[in-house]
Amino acid sequence: LGQYYRAMHTAYITTPVGVFQAQFTSRGLAGLDLPTGRRVASRKTTDAPLPPVTQRWRREVERALLAVLAGRPPSKALPLDLSVGTPFQQQVWATLAAIPCGQTRTYSQIAAAIGRPTAVRAVGQACGANPIPVFIPCHRVLAAHGGLGGFSAGRKWKRLLLDCERGG
Partner DNA sequence: CCCTAGCGGTGCT
Partner DNA sequence: AGCACCGCTAGGG
Catalytic residues: 138
Positions in 85-114 near DNA (CB under 7 A): 85-89, 106-108
**Strand 18-25 versus strand 9-15 pairing type:** antiparallel
Residue with Cβ nearer DNA (25 or 130) = 130
Centroid of chain to Cα 9: 17
Residue with Cβ nearer DNA (8 or 50) = 8
* CB-based contact 127:104 (threshold 8 Å): no
Among 28, 133, 135, 165, binds DNA (CB under 7 A): 133
> Is residue 54 near DNA by the rule CB under 7 A?
no
> Is residue 67 near DNA by the rule CB under 7 A?
no
Segment contacting DNA (CB under 7 A): 35-43, 47-55, 66-74, 137-145?
137-145
> Is residue 143 near DNA by the rule CB under 7 A?
yes
> Is residue 122 near DNA by the rule CB under 7 A?
yes
* CB-based contact 111:105 (threshold 8 Å): no
CA distances from 23 to 13, 18, 94, 120 (A): 11, 17, 20, 29
Assign residue 82 a region (left: φ > 0; alpha: ψ between -120 and 50; beta: otherwise). Answer: alpha
Residue ranges binding DNA (CB under 7 A) = 85-89, 106-108, 116, 118-130, 133, 138-139, 141, 143-145, 147, 149-152, 158
